A and B are shown apart, each in its own frame.
Chain A
Amino acid sequence: MHTGTRRALLLHLAVLAGLFALQFVLPDYHHRNLARILVLASYAAGYNLLLGYTGLLSLGHAMLFAAGLYGAGLAVQLLGVNAASGFAIGVLSGLALAVAVGLVALRTSGVAFMIVTLMFSQAAFLTTLYFAAFTRGDEGFVLPEASRQYQIGSFFFDLSDPGTRYNFALLLFAACLMATFVLVRSPIGRVLVAIRENEQRTTMLGYHTFRYKLLALAASGAISGAAGAAYALLFSYVGSTFASIQYSILPLLWVLLGGVGTTLGPLIGTVLMFYLVDVISGYTSAYLLLVGVALVLLVLVFPKGILGTVRAKAAPWLP
């Protein structure tokens, strides 16, 4: 058991070291892609915390990503705060929205939970369109160059510099990955998994399961918000596409592909899906069709995903 933990920890650190090393060998195009993927994989890690470890399937996570995106983007754009404060506001926006929605949505479960989260998310999406005077709706807005430059003591960061951007994206991903790793190995993580397996039984062990589900949703919201905020600050664009249903389905797809309920699955799923879409969209504009087909196939023939299958067949120690 404990040797398994050590082995898993080493694997996580090795993956992070590998990602750090990749920036020195990747050509520009893939370097830029991977920075984007790392931010999206952080989002997927937040989604996985809820779906994979607590067993709650949300169809409304786009609102949490968008809360971070707009929280950071609007604070920088309209209030003129610096990038670090913008990031903090984004995280808090994701967290606060998750708690508010959770207090209502977690009174339901299963299909009802999916529908309630979907409705909240659609309302959030329409809100971004309604307040187009600030958000510029579909068209979105680009953050001013100056807001992405930041001074801490004698260190100067320019988030539009590819190297800086990559390493901030990696830092975010590392933080999300290790946070989920620690959480799922903790007593709290054990309770979350128990809720996923059998909520009624968990109650009969003396756990107030609603509180634990709210905690999981809050953590998931904070991570999704962090990813959204990082996306706005690193890639400088804020638009309502990110609040649309598409961005609720994508993390589901990434997590299912990589392996639901595995800490590294979200990264693998995001990388594969990103490049699959990238390649396909070179041939056709109907890449969303592919996303849909992939989702159906995954659920039907490959429900454990890549790492889930590896864990079941060869490596039971994978967290």
Chain B
Amino acid sequence: MAAVTLLATEGLSRHFGGVKAVDGVDFALDRGEIRAIIGPNGAGKTTLVGMICGRIDPSRGRVRFEDRDITGLSAWARVQRGIAYTFQITSVFGGLTCFDNVALAAQRRVHGHRALDREVARLLGRVGLADRAGVVAGVLPYGHQRLLEIALGLALKPKLLILDEPTQGLSDAEIDHFCALIRDVAAEATVLLIEHNMAVVMELAQRITVMDNGRILAEGAPEEIRANPQVQEAYLGS
């Protein structure tokens, strides 16, 4: 089947003072793929996705989503168009119950008490937190908060789900569960993953983009990336 471009950036740059965090990046994402972005700390990964989802304004360049220029849209408007972002540092609403957390994300598209109850129960069940609906999110163990964060992302029914270091701090068993979940999600949404855990990247990603010093260093299938000498030097080599 022909790949359809879901998202594309053109010459996207962000400078912080003299530091070029992201420097003229042309990045394209096909509908339906699972893509991983890897790179050393400070490579500009989080800044790049920050500009894609609207949390950070670019210094230069454009972002196109579904063939529309969304560079001028604010973050909330991009979420409404189908770009969901889950945070690197878990930021579920700690004072609210799991139910309310997910309901917040779901209630813009699901209306009515009963329908919302059902939808929230379904989403919590999907990430394995079905029995935690009434629990205040702040007291959940870290791994469960990460899962809740993903439930929030799914509740938005996004076309593009951006996960910023989703497996950080998870146990091996939780990581297995997470990988299964993401493969499941990929059936209905495009997934963009920033990830340090190479085992997760190699298992999930269909294509990998390697960033270094604010630029794209290489892009390709996992085997190509693994074999790329430049990448080995910059990142994998150690």
Find A197's partner among B55, B93, B105, B116 (CB 8 Å cutoff): B93
| A208 and B76 form a contact (CB under 8 A) | yes
| A201 and B87 form a contact (CB under 8 A) | yes
Which of A198, A202, A205 has the most CB atoms of chain B within a 10 A radius of its CB? Answer: A205
Q: Say which one of A89-97, A149-157, A188-196, A266-274 lies at the interface with B.
A: A188-196
CB of B91 within 8 A of chain A? yes
Find A203's partner among B75, B84, B93, B95 (CB 8 Å cutoff): B75
CB of B80 within 8 A of chain A? yes
| A201 and B80 form a contact (CB under 8 A) | no
Number of A-B contacts (CB under 8 A): 57
Min CB distance, A317 to chain B, in Å?
10
| A191 and B75 form a contact (CB under 8 A) | no
By DSSP majority rule, is chain A's interface helix, strand, loop, or mixed? helix
| B103 and A204 form a contact (CB under 8 A) | no
CB-CB under 8 A from A206, the residues of chain B are: 76, 79-80, 108, 156
Report the Cα distance A209→B76, complex, angstroms.
9
The interface on chain A, measured as residues whose beta carbon lies within 8 A of the other chain's beta carbons, has a size of: 18
The interface on chain B, measured as residues whose beta carbon lies within 8 A of the other chain's beta carbons, has a size of: 29
CB of A275 within 8 A of chain B? no
CB of A187 within 8 A of chain B? yes
| B96 and A194 form a contact (CB under 8 A) | yes
Which residue on chain B has the smallest CB distance to residue A197? B93
CB of B169 within 8 A of chain A? no
Report the Cα distance A1→B87, complex, angstroms.
28
CB of B100 within 8 A of chain A? yes
CB of B107 within 8 A of chain A? yes
Report the Cα distance A187→B107, complex, angstroms.
7
CB-CB under 8 A from A190, the residues of chain B are: 100, 103-104, 107
| B55 and A204 form a contact (CB under 8 A) | yes
Which of A1, A187, A201, A206 has the most CB atoms of chain B within a 10 A radius of its CB? Answer: A206
Report the Cα distance A122→B108, complex, angstroms.
39
Return 18 A-B CB contacts under 8 Å, by A number. Answer: A1-B99, A1-B133, A187-B103, A190-B107, A193-B100, A197-B94, A202-B104, A203-B74, A204-B55, A204-B79, A204-B84, A204-B85, A204-B87, A205-B104, A205-B105, A205-B156, A206-B80, A208-B77
